[in-house]
Amino acid sequence: MRLVPRLRTKLQLFLLVESSFFMIGLAILFTLVSLVQPFWSFSRTVGVNHDIGSFGWVTFTADHYSGGVWSLTTILPYSSPAFSYSETARVAGNAYVLEVVYLVVLGLTLGLFRFEFSRKMPPANLLILSLVVLGVALFALFYPIVAIPGAATTDIGTFTVGGFWGSAEPSSGMTWSWGPGLGWWLLLVGVVLGVGGAVLPYLKSLRAMVPSATVMRPAP
């Protein structure tokens, strides 16, 4: 009769690993897509003119509108002499590099979970692996939140950018607003999925360590 609990335990471990594999796979997909999306953007409105600037990995895209009608799109590499937001571009470039590092960590974790021995890893090793994924993920996610406002303030020079998203009216008739681009939101989804997929085996191993209750029957 001991065969049934063993089969049940192996089935639970298999489903656990497959669930983690699926979540980490989705995390890699979302993070990969975020690499080709703008990470942060701002808009500036002066009268009927409206400009939107978006920071990618190596290029800056500016869309110009006049009276609510699109008029021009300009794409500049960060190395262009005409580009004037060098500090913000540097932070955005670093953010994308951190995403690549996060992708590498996710890939290694995914490969590790595909091996048979990973299903027998002790909880301490699973905890270390979870903490590594968590640390890299949070650093990649929060680094631009901390660094971009100061860099953008240096580049703009006329007012203080008071956060990762917000708005300001530095002068009459001129309004600025800014916030995360689609790339950051996709990274957020990738972080939630990746961390969840890495932590799940550790939490399950803790649950497996809890001894099951034994029913005591009175002696006849």
pLDDT at position 213: 43
Backbone angles phi, psi at 57, to 5 degrees: -70, -50
Token digits of residue 96? 């994308």
Which domain range does residue 153 map to?
14-209
Long-range interactions of 123-127: CB distance < 8 A, separation 24+: 123/202, 123/205, 123/206, 123/209, 126/201, 126/202, 126/205, 127/202
pLDDT at position 121: 72
pLDDT at position 5: 52
Look at residue 145 and tell me if it is in a domain.
yes
pLDDT at position 127: 85
Look at residue 184 and tell me if it is in a domain.
yes
Backbone angles phi, psi at 178, to 5 degrees: -155, 160
pLDDT at position 191: 96
Domain count across the chain? 1
pLDDT at position 1: 46
Q: How many Å apart are CA 140 and CA 195, to the nearest integer?
A: 12
Look at residue 218 and tell me if it is in a domain.
no
pLDDT at position 216: 45
pTM over 0.75: yes
Look at residue 83 and tell me if it is in a domain.
yes
> Can you list the residues of the chain whose pLDDT is less than 70?
1-18, 116-120, 205-220
pLDDT at position 6: 54
Look at residue 167 and tell me if it is in a domain.
yes
